[in-house]
């Protein structure tokens, strides 16, 4: 993408109403625009990151054996009357009447609708286990929408629902979600710690939230800091292997890590003092096992292998897709701007032409741009007629992890400069070597 032809409305000034750094940078980098409290347009740069995050979420869900579908944003109220949640949900639910005076709502979550789909099409244990998920916009009329996409009213969520024959099978689905989430967050450059939590309006006793540690997080967290060193890494997971999946979950949930809702001062006190930490975290996901809470009242029943009709065991599992942009920026930035992890960056690399109009510099930039494209990498090429300082400031603000700087002086020695946004370190090399290096960094992503 050539910056001269892109739509990147960066702001020079800090927006006055943005209280936390991720919100400030998302506005300044021209990623989002607020249209109403907690409701945003996704401008091209923000949209690219959102799509990238969605893609990683999809890939890891499919890897775990979960099946994508798409349910609508608007739902009939009658489904929610069946589960009893129409009245329970309160003012967070946006209620709408259509022209025939039928009660509708903008879905805050989809347990009822997915249960309806299931009961209409599945009747035998032979069709289980089944996990269906979608990535769809939700609406919750939050009392205090704030911090940009972090607590929106309209927000993008991945929500998945498992249907299993018994508790044991459903707990395997729960564990499978936990492991697939760990991998999902790691691919985004995040450390998200599973913490014992409270289930709120979704219900059930088994629930974990995934928290990214950040001072600006809304949740108070209590943990043994050795939990932050745990990594899933590139180990092979067989998602059908109950034992292996359960082992991984055990590894990640044995050390103390809880939100304030489930905090236990006595258990916390057992942690050696040097490892005992109180902090704040951003909740980027939550998983639930709630047994037959929805399947019983809604009649999601299958015939088991003994010929008996039994309600299925269910759980639901959510990832805050749009919130993740904020969480990643909170975890990865400096005073100049965002520092995108390679996994989610809107463009893999930026090209800065220090002297637009200089024939050698222009030709070298064009050559780099095309060579990168041939390797499957779309660079953001700053081909505007601007001062070098302004170009660097824009690149630093929007946070591409790598920058290739091209100027007449370097070119006279046959070199360009490759700079890491994270370390600030630069290295001179031939344009071909720079392309190779960047291609290597992104290999397999
Ligand atoms: N049905 C379940 C799981 S699918 C559910 O709705 N879970 S949830 O309420 O925990 O939401 C899932 C995730 O969505 C949260 O962990 C959080 O990351 C994200 N989320 C929730 N509310 C908001 C909001 N107002 N703005 C942005 N993201 C949100």
Residues 79 and 178 in one domain: yes
Is 343 contained in some domain?
no
* Ligand 1 atom nearest 152 alpha carbon: 26
Last residue of one domain, picked from the residues 293, 313, 338:
338
Residues 257 and 356 in one domain: no
Last residue of one domain, picked from the residues 315, 338, 361:
338
Q: Which two tokens stand for residue 223?
A: 């943990």
Which amino acid residue places its CA nearest to atom 5 of ligand 1? 318
Is 344 contained in some domain?
no
Residues 313 and 249 in one domain: yes
- High-pLDDT (> 90) share of the chain, %: 96
* Token pair 């409305």: residue: 9
pLDDT at 444: 77
Please state, rounded to an integer, the average pLDDT across all residues of the chain. 96
pLDDT above 80 for 342: yes
Q: Which two tokens stand for residue 295?
A: 């399947």
Residue 368 domain boundaries: 349-442
Which amino acid residue places its CA nearest to atom 12 of ligand 1? 318
Pocket test for ligand 1, best of 174, 284, 320 (most atoms within 8 A of CB): 320
pLDDT at 200: 77
Residues 274 and 393 in one domain: no
Tell me the C-alpha distance between 121 and 123, whole Å: 7
Pick from 306, 328, 292: nearest CA to 111: 292
Pocket test for ligand 1, best of 323, 325, 326, 327 (most atoms within 8 A of CB): 323
CATH assignment at residue 274 = 3.30.930.10
Average pLDDT over residues 88-99: 96
Average pLDDT over residues 107-129: 97
Residues 333 and 426 in one domain: no
Which amino acid residue places its CA nearest to atom 7 of ligand 1? 318
User: Which band of pLDDT confidence, cut at 50, 70 and 90, is reported for residue 164?
Assistant: very high
CA of 145 to the centre of ligand 1 (A): 13
Residues 148 and 295 in one domain: yes
* Per-residue pLDDT tens digits for 176-221: 999 999 999 999 999 999 999 887 777 777 899 999 999 999 999 9
Residues 122 and 94 in one domain: yes
pLDDT at 254: 96
Residues in contact with 422: Cβ distance below 8 Å, sequence separation at least 6, in sequence order: 339, 401
User: Which band of pLDDT confidence, cut at 50, 70 and 90, is reported for residue 243?
Assistant: very high
* Ligand 1 atom nearest 319 alpha carbon: 13
CA of 209 to the centre of ligand 1 (A): 10
Q: Which two tokens stand for residue 69?
A: 């579908």
Tell me the C-alpha distance between 331 and 190, whole Å: 8
CA angle 242, 244, 245 (to 5 degrees): 65
- DSSP for 373-412? HHTT---EEE-SS--HHHHHHHHHHHT-SEEEEE-HHHHH
CA of 282 to the centre of ligand 1 (A): 11
CA of 257 to the centre of ligand 1 (A): 20
* Per-residue pLDDT tens digits for 246-285: 999 999 999 999 999 999 999 999 999 999 999 999 999 9
Residue 190 phi, psi (nearest 5): -110, 150
CATH assignment at residue 410 = 3.40.50.800
Average pLDDT over residues 350-358: 97
CA of 156 to the centre of ligand 1 (A): 9
* Ligand 1 atom nearest 153 alpha carbon: 25
Is 218 contained in some domain?
yes
* Per-residue pLDDT tens digits for 383-414: 999 999 999 999 999 999 999 999 999 999 99
pLDDT above 90 for 350: yes
Residues 32 and 89 in one domain: yes
Pocket test for ligand 1, best of 23, 140, 144, 318 (most atoms within 8 A of CB): 318
Is 153 contained in some domain?
yes
Residues with CB under 6 A from ligand 1: 109, 111, 140, 142, 151-152, 155, 157, 159, 202, 283-286, 316-318, 320, 322-323
| Across 12-16, 171-175, 298-302, 378-382, least confident range | 12-16
Residues 332 and 354 in one domain: no
Residues 59 and 125 in one domain: yes
Is 8 contained in some domain?
yes
With 0.85 as the threshold, say if the pTM is over it: yes
Total structural domains within the chain: 2
pLDDT at 202: 72
Beta strands per DSSP E along 261-312 = 276-291, 301-303, 309-311
* Ligand 1 atom nearest 157 alpha carbon: 14
pLDDT at 445: 79
Last residue of one domain, picked from the residues 287, 317, 338:
338
Distances (CA, A) of 400 to 23, 289, 338, 342: 18, 39, 8, 8
pLDDT above 90 for 372: yes
pLDDT at 17: 86
CA of 320 to the centre of ligand 1 (A): 5
Which amino acid residue places its CA nearest to atom 24 of ligand 1? 151
* Per-residue pLDDT tens digits for 119-132: 999 999 999 999 99
- Local structure of 213: helix, strand or coil: strand
User: Which band of pLDDT confidence, cut at 50, 70 and 90, is reported for residue 314?
Assistant: very high
CA of 285 to the centre of ligand 1 (A): 7
Which amino acid residue places its CA nearest to atom 14 of ligand 1? 320
Which amino acid residue places its CA nearest to atom 27 of ligand 1? 151
pLDDT at 337: 98
pLDDT at 58: 98
């Amino acid at each position: 993408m050539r910056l001269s032809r892109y739509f990147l409305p960066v702001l020079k000034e800090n927006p006055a109403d943005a209280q936390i750094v991720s919100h400030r940078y998302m506005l300044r980098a021209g990623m989002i625009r607020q249209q109403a409290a907690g409701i945003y347009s996704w401008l091209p740069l923000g949209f690219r990151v959102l799509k990238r995050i969605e893609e990683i979420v999809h890939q890891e869900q499919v890897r775990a054996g979960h099946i994508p579908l798409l349910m609508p944003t608007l739902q009939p109220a009658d489904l929610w009357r069946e589960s009893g949640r129409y009245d329970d949900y309160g003012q967070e639910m946006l209620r709408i009447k259509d022209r025939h005076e039928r009660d509708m709502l903008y879905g805050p979550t989809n347990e009822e609708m997915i249960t309806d789909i299931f009961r209409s099409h599945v009747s035998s244990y032979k069709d289980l286990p089944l996990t269906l998920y979608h990535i769809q916009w939700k609406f919750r009329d939050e009392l205090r929408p704030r911090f940009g996409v972090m607590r929106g009213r309209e927000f993008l969520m991945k929500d998945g629902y498992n249907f299993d024959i018994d508790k044991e099978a459903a707990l395997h689905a729960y564990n499978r979600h936990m492991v697939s989430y760990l991998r999902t967050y790691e691919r985004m450059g995040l450390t998200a710690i599973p913490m014992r939590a409270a289930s709120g309006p979704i219900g059930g006793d088994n629930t974990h939230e995934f928290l990214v540690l950040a001072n600006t997080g809304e949740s108070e967290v209590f943990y043994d800091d050795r939990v932050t060193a745990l990594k899933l890494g590139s180990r092979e997971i067989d998602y059908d292997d109950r034992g292996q999946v359960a082992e991984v979950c055990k590894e990640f949930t044995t050390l103390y890590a809880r939100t304030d809702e489930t905090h236990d001062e006595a258990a916390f006190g057992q942690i050696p003092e040097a490892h005992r930490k109180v902090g704040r975290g951003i909740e980027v996901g939550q998983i639930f096992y709630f047994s037959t809470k929805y399947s019983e009242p809604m009649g999601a029943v299958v015939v088991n292998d003994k010929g008996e009709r039994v309600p299925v065991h269910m759980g639901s599992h959510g990832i805050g897709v749009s919130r993740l942009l904020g969480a990643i920026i909170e975890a990865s930035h400096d005073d100049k701007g965002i520092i995108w992890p390679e996994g989610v960056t809107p463009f893999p690399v930026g090209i800065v032409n220090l002297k637009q109009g200089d024939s050698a510099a222009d030709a070298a930039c064009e050559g780099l741009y095309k060579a990168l494209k041939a390797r499957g990498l779309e660079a953001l090429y700053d081909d505007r007629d601007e001062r070098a300082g302004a170009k660097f400031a824009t690149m630093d603000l929007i946070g591409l992890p790598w920058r290739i700087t091209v100027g007449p002086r370097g070119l006279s020695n046959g070199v360009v400069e490759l700079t890491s946004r994270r370390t600030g370190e630069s290295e001179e090399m031939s344009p071909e070597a720079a392309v190779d290096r960047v291609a290597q960094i992104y290999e397999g992503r």
